[in-house]
Structure 1
């Protein structure tokens, strides 16, 4: 499930942003933006924006009174990246930018990170801060490693505008793709495993990641001798999963999937013990288990989304029956995969018709 951005230079002196997934359509006059004092952004390169800088950015955005918070944040991240990346140009460019995503927003699936990565890559390329890797005869291409590093740094800045103090995991995954190890603030790529097919289920139960993290921290402080071993076990599951995925990258076997299913079940029970479960997630696990499938929460927990591993030996009707059961219960459910490539640049002709139609606003 991917996020797509189309950038078109235009000669009308306008800067247009269209985000059809969340109903945003905004236009700014480039000449007026050019006259603004944006020196406050110079201190913002790869650092957290101060409250004063954020307020100045809000003045530039000029929000209507009825603008929802998630809409404000999406626009602020865009303006921050546009003004920061493009201010080195002799004149700010007149652009028409549309971003459309297959990822549901606000579901804990990294939609904001994919958005920030697309913006960073497009603006850096348009301003020739990084070269366009797409050759005329190619349908798609990826940037060189050093260019991906710069894309990721700017995308992290966009994530900071939206989330304040994110880990950097989501934008790194969106940039590099595949699988990553995150440990004590350090992120590194794993040997790319073969693509894992999953059901991705959205329970539609909203939750606050900030509040959930605080709850787990409080539980650790209250019961350190109980909670610390749970965290140690979860870490051990992650390491074992990493080992299995490493083996699958070179010689995949059905036995690896059975091991992953066991790890998924153990992980889900430990997450429940940390207080991250929810009746909707219990229902998800029970419904998929009734069809011989294994599921766990993904993201912060307490609602949100869950993933269900699909072994390659599973017959289509069994998967479809599980999917229909989840949908009939009121969940949203997609059959997708893990381990896809990260940010890429495409020729318009290489995109599927539904994607082209969405980007054209049809």
Structure 2
């Protein structure tokens, strides 16, 4: 073990524009959501590996020797990041007691943790004993990148502990970022965790968690946008459950049934994403003006209408848009739709009384609502002084 203790965090993810259209080759903008997942790793000498998932009241502990037996005879392939090691995956599924098609939140988290832990530390000598505690501000299963934030934190902490990436020096705010090569390695290991959880992920969520800011996703290519502004938002969870798979299939069926109608809709969504990208670039290269925010608000309204046309709206999301518009604020769904979450843009000069009244209105609808921001930093290394008090108090118990 190269470090005795480290604390890391990674942000969640929202889709600013391009939901569903991205499946059909159009541009999407994915953005970091400043609700973060925090992880504390601590080296121990008791011969055990422990994980504490505080949000779901899960504590598990294994003997190091027990985990050592899960490693394949040849460990060379475990360092490959091109694909998962099939033999280790099978052994872990048997060990955890799950089938590929029946993974709950607890099982997915355990599988991702054990896979990255075993692969990173596989080699000559014994596996290290350690304790990992994790707490998140992100709701699970809401399409906000909670699993990716978890995987990014795991990768950053375990790679730091193994010495594969250095512990970066903290800046004046007591947080630090890794260099580009180290971030690339963290992202690739986080993608392995996402593969364990989702099977065939796009890689967008873990890239957002690693680099933060805003990423352009088009036909499998992920491009970070440089110098983007941080945007204040309200994030609202309608708490209406939905199936992403069913919603994606529904959009595809509509496109097949009405190609002459739906193709222009997809082209327009693509144009919304590209226009938003240009507007954000203009906001960083020149002074932000009220006109910039007016453009962003209009694009939000246009894209929301397009998503309704695609068939992924929901009465709960319609109500969210009506409630916020009554306060002069503009909202759209984010993610798969059909319920789930929505984002509401806040201008810099939006009065706090308006924000609080809107939050109260939305909570009165039975929704969860937070004021947060988009476009903040990706994975960070923390000193204890820079961790949110609530997170620190929970993490330091373990």
Structure 1 segments (4+ residues) deviating >4 Å = 39-44, 50-53, 135-138
From 171, 174, 192, the equivalent of 2:209 is: 174
Alpha-carbon deviations, 1:186-219, whole Å to 9, x = none? 0011122221000000000111112211111121
Asked if 1 retains the 8 angstrom alpha-carbon contact of 2:112 and 2:194, the reply is yes
Q: Which residue of 1 aligns with 2:51?
A: 17
How large is the Cα RMSD of the aligned pairs?
Answer: 1.9
Q: Distance in 1 between matches of 2:295 and 2:395?
A: 41
* Aligned residue among 110, 123, 135 for 1:100: 135
Q: What's 1:260 paired with?
A: 296
Q: Is the 8 A contact 1:179 1:192 kept in 2?
A: no
| 1:73 counterpart = 2:73 | no
Q: Separation in 2 of the partners of 1:277 and 1:40?
A: 50
Give the strand-richer structure, 1 or 2: 2
Structure 1 counterpart SS, 2:385? helix
Query: Is 1:86 equivalent to 2:133 in the alignment?
Result: no
Deviation of 1:353 after TM superposition, in Å, equals: 1.9
Query: Is 2:282 the counterpart of 1:247?
Result: yes
Q: CA 1:50 to 1:216, structure 2 compared with 1: closer, same or farther past 3 Å?
A: farther
Give the structure with the larger helix fraction.
Answer: 1
TM-score (norm 2): 0.86
> Per-residue CA shift, 1:71-105, capped at 9, x if unaligned?
11111011111111111352211010011111111
What is the CA-CA distance between 1:228 and the residue it aligns to?
Answer: 1.3
Aligned 8 A contact 1:204 1:331 in 2: yes
Which residue of structure 1 lines up, in the alignment, with residue 272 of structure 2? 237
Which of 134, 142, 148 pairs up with 1:113? 148
* SS of corresponding position for 1:301: coil
Whether 1:346 and 2:376 are equivalent positions in the alignment is no
Separation in structure 1 between the aligned mates of residue 343 and residue 388 of structure 2, nearest angstrom: 26
Evaluate the alpha carbon distance shift between residue 128 and residue 281 of structure 1 in structure 2; reply closer, same or farther with a 3 A threshold: same
Aligned counterparts of 1:314 and 1:349: Cα–Cα separation in 2: 30
* Structure 1 SS opposite 2:293: helix
Give the whole-Å Cα distance in 1 for the aligned partners of 2:167 and 2:360: 43
Q: Which runs of 5+ in 2 are unaligned?
A: 1-34
The answer (yes or no) to whether the contact 1:116–1:156 under 8 Å persists in 2 is: yes
TM-score, length basis structure 1: 0.94
SS in 1 for 2:355: helix
CA separation of 1:246/1:39 partners in 2, compared to 1, >3 Å: closer, same or farther?
farther
Unmatched 5+ residue regions in structure 1?
none
How many Å apart are 1:292 and its aligned residue?
A: 0.6
SS at match of 1:197: strand
Alpha carbons of 1:178 and 1:25: their partners in 2 closer, same or farther (altered >3 Å)?
A: same
- Is the Cα–Cα contact under 8 Å of residues 75 and 122 in structure 2 kept in the other structure? no
What secondary structure sits across from 2:234 in the alignment? strand
Change (3 A) 1:55 1:298: same
What corresponds to 2:226 in structure 1? 191
Instruction: Provide closer, same or farther for how the CA distance between residues 282 and 360 of structure 1 changes in structure 2, counting only shifts above 3 A.
Output: same
Aligned-pair CA distance for 1:135: 5.0
Partner of residue 125, structure 1: 160
**1:334 and 2:362 equivalent?**
no
Aligned to 2:9: none
Shift of 1:24: 1.6
The 8 Å contact of residues 300 and 331 in structure 2, kept in 1 or not, is answered as yes
Aligned to 1:311: 347
CA contact (8 A) 1:284 1:295 kept: yes
In the alignment of these two chains, the number of paired residues is 359
Q: Residues 60, 136 of structure 1: CA spacing in aligned structure 2 closer, same or farther, 3 A cutoff?
A: farther
Deviation at 1:47, TM superposition (A): 3.9
1:2 counterpart SS class: strand
